[in-house]
Amino acid sequence: VLARQLGIAALAIAAVILAMGVGLGREPMEMFMTGLSLAVAMVPEGLPAVVTITLALGASAMVRQKALARRLQAVETLGAASVICTDKTGTLTENRMTATRVWMSDAIYDVTGTGHDPAGHIASNGTRIRAADDPGLGRLLETAITCSHARLRHEEGHWVAIGEPTETALVTLAYKGWAQIPDPDDLVAEVPFSSDRKCMSVVARTGGAEAMFTKGAPAQVLERCSRIHAGGTARPLEGADRERIQEAYRAMAADGLRVLAFAWRPVVSEDHKEGELIFLGLAGLIDPPRPEVRAAVAQAQAAGIRIIMITGDSHVTAKAIAEGLGIELDRTLTGKELEAMEDAELEAALRGPVLFARTRPADKMRIIAALQRDNQIVAMTGDGVNDAPALKQADIGVSMGVRGTDVAKDASDLVLLDDNFATIVRAIGEGRRQFENVRKFVRYLLSSNAGEVIAIMANILLGGPLIFLATQILWMNLITDGITAVALGLEKSEPGNMKKPPRRKNEPILGINGLSLILLFGLYTGFSSLWIFTQLLPGGEAQARTAAFTAMVLFEKFSVFAFRSLREPCWRIGYLSNPLLLGALTLTILAQVAAVYWPPLQVLLHTVGLGPDVWILILTFALPILIVPELIKTGVFAARRMGAGRAVAGAGA
């Protein structure tokens, strides 16, 4: 867009210059060449290529950090993310469920072992218990393994889990209790799980008769129960029982456990309705947070990025996990509360630290829309088919590369190759680096072009011959500037890159500071090269033009050090920290020397050899470009350090 705008402006100004010159009586061909030179000088011809190359290299760097950008533009957008809406399971956590606790009306059981190895055991008060020893526990374990599509298989000396992590954890639990494994031929019917019902039921033959086995969210299972297994038998489920179950559920969830409830009943006359069930108990599953996520959360929040957890788990479990990871949190909202909210209420809630629990995939779209109305740039994670609309709606859709569906990946802008939240934060840091580097080389290129334009226009007003030929301008813009700009786009992140707030939505890449800098450098380089040109003009037009041309190239090469950082002096970021830039500078300066002394390039660019006195003159004007910005940035850095020191001293007092 910027290149197109510059192109339109260049053509308009060139046309005006042509008309003015002809109107003042100058030769039309001379003014045509002048207008052409001016148009060529105004447009940074290498800008689109440099931007594309830089973003492509940035995308390649992100792949090495386990993040695959499906669109180059996503690299830049990701760097502006102000909110990350993230799932819990598998992104913040390891997605390796393990059952650690079972609650029943008569006893509480601890479960040992981790992962999918059934070598652990179930114990109550230190005594190991198997399904055959405890009919109630046996029925709960039978429900857990029957009401599941997962299976365990022993292969080459280790156990392999097949199925969804929650279900494989329950099957492993049943194995630890030596529960009877159901015969697939005994399955009669199934009422599948849905995000609305939050439970599933299976009808199977057991002990010569049919029975319904149900598992799901505690509240949804409990409301389908009329009896409870207690004291070795089933009795009516009373209000006190319901309160005890709720207390047990809250206690387990507060420990960060994902809690599931289990119930069953005999089937009479093929009655497959989910009702009149016998409540069996609860199982608590732990999905440990990824060890690197807590540090990533702290880094994101230090960078001014808000993290909003959106999960289907209970609000108690979600809150415990969020607090354990250090996610800022003032309020927890459930899917039902979200549904009852007006848009204005939701927008107000989203301005503070908030967590969403018991949500549906459709809720994500409403949350995204509310954040975007508040001018937030939203990154949204998702892995399922139902997440695809939300991934498309978000500014940056982030899908899971390991467990994500193809539909989710196709709808996303970024694919996490390791399904890890920390990878999102690293990718945001890379996106910020890329945007800053694009901003640096755009300002660098435009400052170079500004110097050329100012020199040409001032020379026209003075009535002198062309200071630069069209071929010389193309040489500067495409050969010397283009190579240097690509190397500038490979600068490493500056100190504090992830300690400042995200940039504003639609923040201009130039801005007032950038335009001022471009104008300042343009004025100095333009008038300096013009002064050299006019001083040497009496000695011959070819020598004066070659000197001005060479001076402008060296000015542009020396100015690149000022654009490496707009805040930090080069000694802070390291003179040798970007070896490719040093290589590019060496190459382009040697190319310019060749342009001055090598006959084939002399013919192409209409140059002549320069004497030592001319080189000294050029370097006299070039050195301030290298020295003055460094002195200014060093002074600003020292002032910042002194200000920070006074602030610390004041706090200590």
Structure tokens at 219: 């509240």
b/e per residue, 417-454, with b = 16+ CB within 10 A? eebbbbbbbbbbbbbbbbbbbbbbbbbbbbbbbbbbbb
Q: Strand locations in 126-183, DSSP E?
A: 127-129, 151-155, 158-162
Structure tokens at 445: 């290129």
Nearest to 41 by CA among 577, 615, 460: 460
Give the separation between CA 274 and CA 277, rounded to whole angstroms. Answer: 7
Give the separation between CA 159 and CA 191, rounded to whole angstroms. Answer: 29
Instruction: Tell me the pTM.
Output: 0.79
CA 569 from centre of chain = 28
* CA separation, residue 235 to residues 216, 225, 241, 558, 623 (Å): 21, 11, 11, 87, 93
Q: Output the pLDDT for position 76.
A: 80
Structure tokens at 314: 């209970």
Contacts of 224 (CB under 8 A, 6+ apart): 199, 214, 263, 274, 275, 277
Q: Output the pLDDT for position 3.
A: 63
87 a catalytic residue: yes
Q: Output the pLDDT for position 619.
A: 96
Catalytic residue among 87, 363, 413, 419: 87
Give the separation between CA 82 and CA 301, rounded to whole angstroms. Answer: 10
Q: Output the pLDDT for position 137.
A: 94
Q: What is the mean pLDDT of each run of 10 residues along the chain (653 residues)?
A: 69 76 73 73 71 83 89 84 90 87 94 86 91 92 93 83 90 92 85 86 89 94 95 93 95 91 90 90 91 92 94 87 90 91 93 91 92 94 89 93 89 91 90 88 86 86 83 83 84 84 82 88 95 94 95 93 86 86 93 95 94 96 93 86 64 54
Q: Output the pLDDT for position 586.
A: 94
CA 50 from centre of chain = 22
Q: Output the pLDDT for position 110.
A: 94
* CA separation, residue 576 to residues 227, 488, 573, 583, 637 (Å): 75, 13, 9, 10, 20
Q: Which residues pair with 459 in a beta bridge?
A: none
Nearest to 107 by CA among 82, 90, 85, 125: 125
Sign of the torsion angle spanned by Cα atoms 605, 609, 611, 612: positive
Nearest to 501 by CA among 641, 351, 306, 295: 306
* CA separation, residue 472 to residues 81, 111, 305, 456, 603 (Å): 42, 78, 47, 12, 11
| Domains of the chain with CATH codes | 83-93+298-419 (3.40.50.1000), 98-286 (3.40.1110.10), 426-652 (1.20.1110.10)
Rounded to 10 deg, the angle between the 421-462 and 2-23 helix axes is 0
Q: Strand locations in 4-134, DSSP E?
A: 67-69, 83-86, 98-104, 108-111, 122-124, 127-129
**Ramachandran angles phi, psi of 201, nearest 5°:** -135, 150
Q: Output the pLDDT for position 653.
A: 54
